[in-house]
Amino acid sequence: MSPARTPQSPRRRSAALAVPAAGALAAGLLGAPPAAADPAVAADAPVGYASMNGGTTGGFGAGTVHEYVLSEYWPGSGHGSPGDALYELLKEHRGKSGEGLVVYIDETVSADDFDQSKMDVKDLENVSLLGVGGRGEFDGVGINVRNAHNVVVRNLEIHHIDQGEKDGIGVQADSSNVWLDHNEIYNEFQGADKDHYDGLIDIKNGSEYITVSWNHLHDSWKTMLTASSDSEDAASDKITYMNNHFENVNSRVPLIRRSDVHMLNNYFEDIASSAINARMGAHVLVEGNYFESTGSGTVDGHAGQIQGPVGWWYGSDETGYWNLVDNAYEDSPHEHLESTTGFTVPYSYNALGPEEARAQAEQNAGTGVIDVTP
């Protein structure tokens, strides 16, 4: 296995894609990346499960749209920090059915000057939180999407969350139609206690119709899950993970219980223990992914399976099932792998080959790729 790396800041990229504020169709390339950008990189709407159930439009999907630029709003808002001002904006939006809230985040929300333990996107609908350029940052503050519908979170750097529920982004309590796109989320891996932080993106407790796309998720013991426990009411469902770059993490990429999940065109790089962990009857379409240095290759003592790109490991009494379609493996234990289900997904999409998926994720996942301009 190649040596693990510990990147702690966004990488410099040679190109950017401009996205108008109202989420109109994306403009073209401004530079010359190694691989021509897939048209989906800066799309104004999600592919996958978040495109179903009426679609996911965020704050722009309502009849009346209220837009705020955080750096312009908070100094006169009466609140002591950008985070406190944003928290109150979200709280005030509760109960406003048919209205949309769009906040352009061009400030750092820091745990040091924020009065809450997490940023609640709670009991509301039609919300977009959009990072502006490279200035939208959550330092030590996680985003908690709870009992919310039609929510978009894009182009934010979120890191080192060790308070509240300790998730970078948590989606829970029957939330639906959530699109998490082009974010960079990280904690620490080597040198950190495995329980100091929790997941980078955890989706649980009845949430559904969710797409997680074009994110750079790195440096963490616990990466992602789709349920908080094995029980039926703890699980989420109908989740698409596509074009993400998972790098230098230990496991749970993701941990999937009782869910229908599509893992499409992701790049897995330096995954120390194990990646896609399907348990408790989960059904997973694993398609067009590139696995590099993924898995320890050791035999898990729970179910006797080799820890690698896909499997059923530790903790749950029942296995999940996976359909393996057109994946590539480099320095990753995979000779034992075969499909255990014919599961497919009910929406249309375009799948890249795994090599192209790796190139696109390296170039275009994370922040600094789309520029959302107020």
For 191, the 3-state DSSP assignment is coil
Tell me whether strands 149-154 and 125-131 are parallel, antiparallel or unpaired.
Answer: parallel
Quote the DSSP letter at residue 274.
-
Helix, strand, coil percentages, rounded to 5, for the chain: 10, 35, 50
Q: Which residue, chain included where needed, has tokens 């894609």?
A: 17
Q: In angstroms, rounded to a whole number, what is the distance separating the alpha carbons of residues 141 and 139? A: 6
For 75, the 3-state DSSP assignment is helix
Quote the DSSP letter at residue 269.
E
Q: How far is CA 145 from the centre of its chain?
A: 13
Closest-CA residue to 371 (of 30, 11, 46, 8): 30
Q: Is the peptide bond before 33 cis (omega within 30 degrees of 0)?
A: no
Cβ count near 20 (within 10 Å): 13
Q: How far is CA 94 from the centre of its chain?
A: 24
Of the residues 146, 154, 252, 257, which is catalytic? 252
- CA torsion, ordered 108, 111, 116, 118, to nearest 10 deg: 80
Q: What is the largest CA-CA distance in the chain?
A: 61
- Residue 361, both tokens: 């994720």
List phi, psi (to 5°) of 167: -95, 145
What single-letter amino acid sits at 303? Answer: A
Q: How many helices (H) and strands (E) does the chain have?
A: 3, 29
Q: In angstroms, rounded to a whole number, what is the distance separating the alpha carbons of residues 311 and 297? A: 12
Q: In angstroms, rounded to a whole number, what is the distance separating the alpha carbons of residues 127 and 104? A: 11
Is 94 assigned a catalytic role?
Answer: no
Residues labelled catalytic? 252
